[in-house]
A and B are shown apart, each in its own frame.
Chain A
Amino acid sequence: MINVEGLTKKYGSTIAVDSLSFTVKPGRVTGFLGPNGSGKSTTMRCMIGLDRVHSGTALFDGKPYRELKKPLHEVGTLLDAGNAHSGRTARNHLRWLAMSNGMSSKRVDEVLELVGLMDVAKKRVGQFSLGMKQRLGLAAVMLGDPKVVILDEPANGLDPEGIRWIREMLKHLASQGRSVLVSSHLLSEMALMADDLIVIGKGRLITECTVSDFIDQYAKKWVVVKSPQLDSLVTLAQEQGMHVSLGQGVAEFHGVEAAMIGELAAKNNVVLHELSTQTGSLEDAFLEVTADAVQYHGHAETQSKGVAS
């Protein structure tokens, strides 16, 4: 269990993390979401004492990180896969880490096997791809068989097979009762792997809830209708003040329940071929909820030039 309470980190006059509080529960994968520069990585660094905090606490089963005697047995962290000496072999990289917390070389071989790097254990890390470095980072996380796992963008650089592997692994770790906190920009992946979400923007907590509650609360919903008498139905709906948009042979009704459309169609003898409720994705909900917290905006070419008619 991780309890973060009132965590604040400042760089000069800039507040990177602003009184952030949240809980990561055991047995669940908790996604940590926020736009670029929202303070996710800073929060993670503050949690394990790498960065000094101005105020607030981060407790791991009731203890601050600095008080853990052999922290790798309690908390496994992967903040940046590049944090490995390029001239050292993968095995030696893990050996020094293991040794520092009183673990044997046997455990190093076990985690190398676990992440599928046993065949390249004697290769220098500098020769590794980003995906291989991520796997090495995960091996380091698993060295001490920790109760808490903290990962910052672990799927970066992984191929589809690797992404699936990490998803299954994190779910498996959570199923063993561990607390898993993971940040990722791959929202579709997050939707598949996370149980809970912590969403931050500009260093502040925006929301903390389950993934399904988040989508229910923030994602848009609309009703899709297919009908041979689509024009009549649209006219009837518009007469009742409904907002309708038309696609190819399809009408989308916003801000209404499917039942209302069904009843309207039945009352007016309109035949329906499809009547379904659509819900926006986690990505849609995320963009909706963090719209005000995005610091760095890009502009698509089509937006700046306008749509050609």
Chain B
Amino acid sequence: MISLIRSEWLKLRTVRSNITMACFAVILPLAITLLTTAFIDVYSVDDATVSVVLLGSGSLSVLLFGIIGVLAITQEYSQGTIRLTLAANPRRIRAYVAKGIVLAILSGGLTAFIILVGNTTGEAILDSRGAVGKLSNGDMGQAYLALIALSVVVSLLGMAIGTLTRNPPSAVTILVLWPLLLESLIGGLLSVAISESIFKWMPFQTGLNSLRLEDSDMDFGRWGSVGYFGLWILALSLFALARFKRRDA
């Protein structure tokens, strides 16, 4: 399994579009955090400013990690390398899991890096500008961990959607429209037909709720929200894996 994981890691890092996307995912939240802390009115700063900015911009990275997940598998189909991958590793579940592990490590690791650099630098900037009350509050660490978990889960979601569609544009479209449009649309329709509270069952929205600083704002609590979203992705991944296992390459 280790050699498979190393092989998948090499595959991922030797394609320029993956590197570009990963760079965007790292630079975007860092740039937003640094610019915000550099130019924000120091009198409006409170103990959650850096975290709020970092978590908000970090949710964009979460989507970009999802796109890397999409590309990791759809490139194999569009470039025909899936046949070589499966000829080299005919046990398909192992091939899928190895790719998933690499994506999880990449997205989780880079998100941890974003948090570490963004939080340290953001606080240092505010400190140098003489802002007071910038220190961490109790929920910040938990929210940061939820951001890491969300990055991992969404990268696996991207891979599952990519496996099902085998087509980069349609997989990316589904991934982006799911949180931005589909859930609002479906939730809106169902809330009229069934109940207002239906929104709390929308998986992506619930997952994103776990990034809030206050635990009281979440219907299922922070880790309940991550877990609920994670269960949806697990179910989708199992479905994708079943299709991947049976389908002609």
Which among A49, A82, A89, A95 is the interface contact of B80 at CB below 8 angstroms?
A82
CB neighbors of A among B66-104 (8 A):
75, 79-81, 83-91
Say whether A88 contacts B248, CB under 8 Å: no
Say whether B3 contacts A83, CB under 8 Å: no
Which among A84, A87, A99 is the interface contact of B6 at CB below 8 angstroms?
A99
Say whether A83 contacts B11, CB under 8 Å: no
Q: How far is the CA of A9 from the CA of B153 in the complex (A)?
A: 37
Is B197 among interface residues, defined by CB-CB distance under 8 A?
no
* Contact residues in B for A102 (Cβ distance below 8 Å): 3
Q: How large is the interface on B (under 10, 10 to 19, 20 to 34, 35 or more residues)?
A: 20 to 34
Total number of A residues with any Cβ neighbor in B under 8 Å: 31
**Which of the candidate stretches A72-80, A177-185, A241-249, A301-309 sits at the interface with the other chain?**
A72-80
- Which residue on A lies nearest to B18, using beta carbons? A87
The distance from the CB of B2 to the nearest CB of chain A, in whole angstroms, is: 9
Is A65 among interface residues, defined by CB-CB distance under 8 A?
yes
**Interface secondary structure of A, over-half rule:** loop
Most buried by B among A45, A85, A102: A85
- Which residue on A lies nearest to B6, using beta carbons? A99
Most buried by A among B16, B83, B90, B247: B90
Is A51 among interface residues, defined by CB-CB distance under 8 A?
yes
* Contact residues in B for A79 (Cβ distance below 8 Å): 83, 87
Say whether B10 contacts A85, CB under 8 Å: no
Is B60 among interface residues, defined by CB-CB distance under 8 A?
no
Say whether A83 contacts B81, CB under 8 Å: yes
- Which residue on A lies nearest to B12, using beta carbons? A96
- Which residue on A lies nearest to B11, using beta carbons? A96
Is B15 among interface residues, defined by CB-CB distance under 8 A?
yes
Is A269 among interface residues, defined by CB-CB distance under 8 A?
no
- Which residue on A lies nearest to B80, using beta carbons? A83
CB neighbors of A among B235-249 (8 A):
246-249
Is B14 among interface residues, defined by CB-CB distance under 8 A?
yes
Say whether B88 contacts A100, CB under 8 Å: yes
Which among B3, B16, B249 is the interface contact of A100 at CB below 8 angstroms?
B3
Say whether A92 contacts B14, CB under 8 Å: yes
Is A48 among interface residues, defined by CB-CB distance under 8 A?
yes
Say whether A71 contacts B87, CB under 8 Å: yes
Q: How far is the CA of A108 from the CA of B132 in the complex (A)?
A: 58
Q: How far is the CA of A145 from the CA of B108 in the complex (A)?
A: 38
Is A86 among interface residues, defined by CB-CB distance under 8 A?
yes
* Contact residues in B for A83 (Cβ distance below 8 Å): 79-81, 83-84
Are A84 and B79 also in contact (CB < 8 A) when A65-B90, A66-B90 are?
Answer: yes
Is B7 among interface residues, defined by CB-CB distance under 8 A?
yes
Is B4 among interface residues, defined by CB-CB distance under 8 A?
yes
Which among B75, B87, B91 is the interface contact of A85 at CB below 8 angstroms?
B75
The distance from the CB of A50 to the nearest CB of chain B, in whole angstroms, is: 4
A residues with a Cβ closer than 8 A to B are 45, 48-52, 65-66, 68, 71-72, 77, 79-80, 82-89, 92, 95-97, 99-102, 140
Given contacts A85-B14, A99-B7, 17 further A-B contacts (CB under 8 A): A48-B90, A49-B86, A50-B86, A51-B249, A65-B90, A68-B90, A79-B83, A82-B80, A83-B81, A85-B75, A85-B79, A85-B81, A92-B14, A96-B11, A97-B7, A101-B3, A102-B3
